[in-house]
Amino acid sequence: MKKGFRVATMAYLILLGITLGATLTAGALVAPVIFHSERWLGSDILSHYQEGLIMTEIFVRLSHLVLVTMIAVALYEGYKYKMFERGTLTTVSTLLLLMSGMAFNYYYLPDIVNMQLAGEKMTATTAFVNTHKGSEIDFKLFSLSILILMIENMRKALRG
């Protein structure tokens, strides 16, 4: 492996690690605290709707990192695919990451933001609940695909 590409591979793996860490932090650490703010504040200062607004802002900011990661994955994995250095698992994970990242950034997040802008009553509808549940599943698939890409690329980098 050429030195320049070795550096690119390290930067790529670091970006994947940062993105995976951010997605896990938002979903596993931040969300449970935000949506149970009464435990930490001692009373119901924030409504569930207000907690949702805070969480949405976190995911809006996270969406920028998701976009950067999608671009990096498309470029890096696309180049490796062109060089015939990709297997089926890596290719499937790449496509899953790109599709779930696009669904998150361009379907789920805008819908959730628009429903929240419509008011608290809209967030109590079945449409909102289903959209939110779909976004959770989508984000888990995004995180899983990052993990698989990290493992596969580390495995191949250590081999050669």
Could you read off the pLDDT of 23-79 as tens digits, one per residue? 999 999 999 999 999 998 888 899 999 999 999 999 999 999 999 999 999 999 999
Domain limits, the chain: 3-159
Please tell me the pTM assigned to this model. 0.92
Residues with Cβ within 8 Å of 14's Cβ and at least 6 positions away in sequence, in order, are none
CB contact at 8 A, 153 and 9:
yes
Residue 49: burial class (beta carbons within 10 Å; 0-12, 13-18, 19+): middle
Spatial distance between the Cα atoms of 64 and 57, rounded to a whole number of angstroms: 12
Question: What pLDDT score does 1 carry?
Answer: 62
Place of tokens 């979903």: 27
Spatial distance between the Cα atoms of 20 and 155, rounded to a whole number of angstroms: 17
CB contact at 8 A, 101 and 81:
no
Question: What pLDDT score does 5 carry?
Answer: 85
Spatial distance between the Cα atoms of 140 and 26, rounded to a whole number of angstroms: 11
- pLDDT class for 18, splitting at 50, 70, 90? very high
Give the pLDDT mean for 14-31. Answer: 96
Lowest mean pLDDT among 131-135, 149-153, 155-159: 155-159
Q: Which amino acid is at 17?
A: G
Q: Which is higher by pLDDT, 84 or 69? A: 69
Give the pLDDT mean for 10-31. Answer: 96
Give the pLDDT mean for 72-90. Answer: 93
Question: What pLDDT score does 132 carry?
Answer: 96
For the stretch 91-134, pLDDT in tens is: 999 999 999 999 999 999 999 999 999 999 999 999 999 999 99
Name the residue among 120, 99, 118 with its Cα closest to residue 108: 99
Spatial distance between the Cα atoms of 113 and 66, rounded to a whole number of angstroms: 17
- pLDDT class for 148, splitting at 50, 70, 90? very high
Give the pLDDT mean for 80-100. Answer: 94
Question: CA geometry: angle at 157 spanning 155 and 158, to 5°?
Answer: 65
Q: Which amino acid is at 23?
A: T
